């Protein structure tokens, strides 16, 4: 293949990654993808000797690295608020984020949800996670909703919530819904497929 075509394809790849990064709801994922796209596009710009473009993308890469370091070094302090699904503020958050919630949890419906466990996890008074669950057997909670707001879509808020629930005496969480966008997060944080083909997290091993 002609080297010019290869270089041009690299340029298209870098541009595509930068554009795709703008579609990310997770700030961390946005920074990582944008960083990768900026590095690739900087290489392309250097290859075609477009030095102003290369400098701009190198600067963008530096900015992304700076913000990623800040994100990973930042110590987030979370607070758990035990609430109810129909509580005014919790209900407002459910409704105002409903479209995004349905993206991650397609089977979730505010009207058809019956939960007996509701937590609002906050970070410095900012809503970070909405959790709804139902205790199906003593110590075992079926997860109805475990929605993290965009800024807090790393695993830190989940780890805090699960440790908090373990401290409350719960032994395991079970997730039975079809939610293909959410499954990678479950696997990353430690859920395993159980004998009933559902995803389960053993809280006693945290």
Instruction: Answer yes or no: is pLDDT of 171 > 90.
Output: yes
Q: What was the pLDDT predicted at 1?
A: 62
Banded pLDDT at 75 (limits 50, 70, 90): confident
Q: pLDDT tens across 17-63, in order?
A: 888 888 887 778 889 999 999 999 999 999 998 989 899 999 999 99
Decide the pairing of beta strands 78-82 and 117-123.
antiparallel
Give the mean model confidence (pLDDT) for residues 4-28: 84
The per-residue pLDDT for 70 is: 78
Q: Both tokens of residue 119?
A: 């937590």
Which residues pair with residue 122 across a beta bridge? 79, 127
What integer is the mean pLDDT of 115-140?
A: 94
Q: What is the pTM of this model?
A: 0.70
Mapped onto helix, strand or coil, the DSSP state of residue 142 is strand
Span 108-125, mean pLDDT? Answer: 90
For residues 51 and 101, which has the higher predicted lDDT (pLDDT)?
101
- Per-residue confidence at 169, pLDDT binned at 50, 70, 90? very high
173 and 143 in contact (C-beta within 8 Å)? yes
Q: Which helix (H) or strand (E) holds 79?
A: strand 78-82
């Amino acid at each position: 293949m002609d080297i010019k075509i290869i270089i041009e394809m690299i340029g298209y790849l870098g541009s595509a990654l930068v554009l795709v990064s703008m579609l990310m709801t997770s700030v961390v994922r946005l920074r990582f993808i944008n960083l990768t796209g900026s590095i690739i596009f900087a290489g392309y710009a250097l290859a075609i000797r477009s030095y102003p473009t290369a400098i701009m993308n190198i600067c963008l890469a530096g900015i992304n690295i700076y913000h990623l370091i800040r994100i990973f070094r930042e110590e987030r302090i979370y607070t758990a608020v035990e609430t109810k699904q129909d509580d005014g503020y919790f209900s407002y958050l459910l409704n105002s984020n409903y479209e995004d919630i349905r993206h991650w949890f397609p089977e979730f419906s505010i009207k058809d949800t019956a939960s007996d466990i509701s937590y609002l996890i906050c970070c410095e008074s900012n809503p970070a996670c909405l959790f709804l669950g139902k205790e199906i057997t003593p110590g075992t909670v079926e997860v109805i909703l475990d929605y993290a707001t965009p800024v807090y879509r790393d695993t830190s808020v989940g780890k805090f919530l699960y440790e908090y629930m373990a401290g409350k005496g719960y032994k395991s969480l079970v997730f039975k819904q079809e939610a293909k966008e959410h499954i990678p997060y479950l696997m990353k944080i430690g859920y395993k497929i159980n004998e009933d083909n559902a995803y389960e997290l053993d809280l006693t091993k945290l």
